[in-house]
């Protein structure tokens, strides 16, 4: 059975008069981050590559959220520049950036040069370009905060995932270098590394094999100490913390949001692991 997460009340006005860019904000983790930023007073320009962006934009506006959507591919250098320029034109400033859009290309021995190029141009290279573009307006604003979305896949080996895991691993090192170089400008850079989170991708994988979340949450949950998959909002909340002044002395850091995944050894939960609430 799905475990409910603790109730949460947005921090009122934490991001009032603040402007954020969230790439890949049309669905999943990115959408949840956009929604939580708006609930706490922020204004957000978000990007997406599919028609889900227009749908999300309508829903955000119906909820009274001040958002702007741009559709495009983050692998495109000109689009990265356009995202920042449009944010300045619409809202007048940039205070925060969440680099979330990332190519999910999972190939190994079968990886082509095109696969490798897609993994990096729509991954760490896009992250780097976005940071390069937001630094001038953040400097003008007196500083800012950046969160790069990485993954447990950047820390471990997984079968047939040379491209994706190498690209996510690059994000972790990129974040440290960016944090070092941007600290003199009062710009903090951190990354969050989620474990298995119920999202569009996991939903598609579950539906292909049948059973939906009720079945697969229990199966994939065995890889996590908390014995379940995470939910998008459980990534959004820590991301907002890192963006906010509550994390004013945190930079160059990786925050694992993985339910204990990367801390477990090969024994896993163990044969005799006691599950709270079990008979």
CATH code for position 173: 3.40.50.720
Residue 164 annotated to the active site: yes
In a domain, 1, yes or no: no
Domain that holds residue 51: 19-195+231-260
How many domains, the chain?
2
- Are residues 35 and 171 both part of a single domain? yes
Could you tell me if 26 and 157 lie in one domain? yes
Is 180 found in the same domain as 83? yes
Is residue 46, in this structure, part of any structural domain at all?
A: yes
Residues 215 and 128 reside in one and the same domain: no
Q: What is the pLDDT of residue 104?
A: 93
If asked whether residues 223 and 237 sit together in one domain, one would say no
205, part of any domain: yes
The per-residue pLDDT for 266 is 84
pLDDT in tens, 119-148: 999 999 999 999 999 999 999 999 999 999
| Sheet-wide strand order for 43-48 | 67-71, 43-48, 19-22, 96-99, 144-149, 187-194, 254-257
**Catalytic residue from among 127, 164, 223, 261:** 164
User: What are 65-121's pLDDT values in tens digits?
Assistant: 999 999 999 999 999 999 999 999 999 999 999 999 999 999 999 999 999 999 999
Q: Does one domain contain both 158 and 32?
A: yes
**Binning pLDDT at 50, 70 and 90, where does residue 278 land?**
very low
Q: pLDDT category, 255, cuts 50, 70, 90?
A: very high
């Amino acid at each position: 059975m799905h475990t409910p997460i603790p109730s949460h009340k947005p921090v009122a006005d934490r991001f009032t008069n603040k402007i954020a860019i969230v790439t890949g904000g049309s669905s999943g983790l990115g959408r949840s981050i956009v929604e939580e930023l708006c609930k706490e007073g922020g204004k957000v320009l978000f990007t997406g590559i599919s028609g889900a962006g227009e749908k999300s934009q309508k829903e955000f506006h119906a909820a009274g959220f001040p958002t702007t959507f741009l559709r495009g591919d983050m692998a495109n250098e000109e689009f990265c520049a356009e995202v920042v320029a449009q944010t300045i034109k619409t809202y007048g400033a940039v205070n925060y950036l969440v680099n979330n859009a990332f190519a999910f290309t999972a190939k190994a021995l079968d990886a082509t040069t095109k696969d490798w190029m897609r993994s990096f141009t729509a991954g760490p290279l896009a992250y780097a370009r976005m940071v390069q573009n937001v630094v001038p307006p953040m400097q003008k604003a007196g500083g800012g905060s950046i969160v790069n979305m990485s993954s447990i896949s950047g820390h471990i080996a997984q079968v047939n995932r040379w491209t994706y895991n190498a690209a996510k691993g690059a994000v972790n090192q990129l974040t440290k270098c960016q944090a070092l170089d941007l600290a003199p400008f009062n710009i903090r850079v951190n990354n969050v590394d989620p474990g298995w989170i119920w999202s569009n991708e996991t939903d598609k994988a579950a539906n292909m094999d049948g059973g939906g979340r009720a079945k697969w949450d229990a199966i994939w949950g065995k890889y996590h100490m908390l014995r379940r998959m995470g939910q998008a909002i459980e990534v959004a909340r820590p991301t907002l913390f890192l963006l906010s002044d509550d994390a004013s002395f945190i930079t160059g850091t990786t925050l694992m949001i993985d339910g204990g995944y990367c801390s477990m050894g090969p024994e896993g939960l163990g044969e005799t692991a006691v599950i709270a609430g079990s008979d």
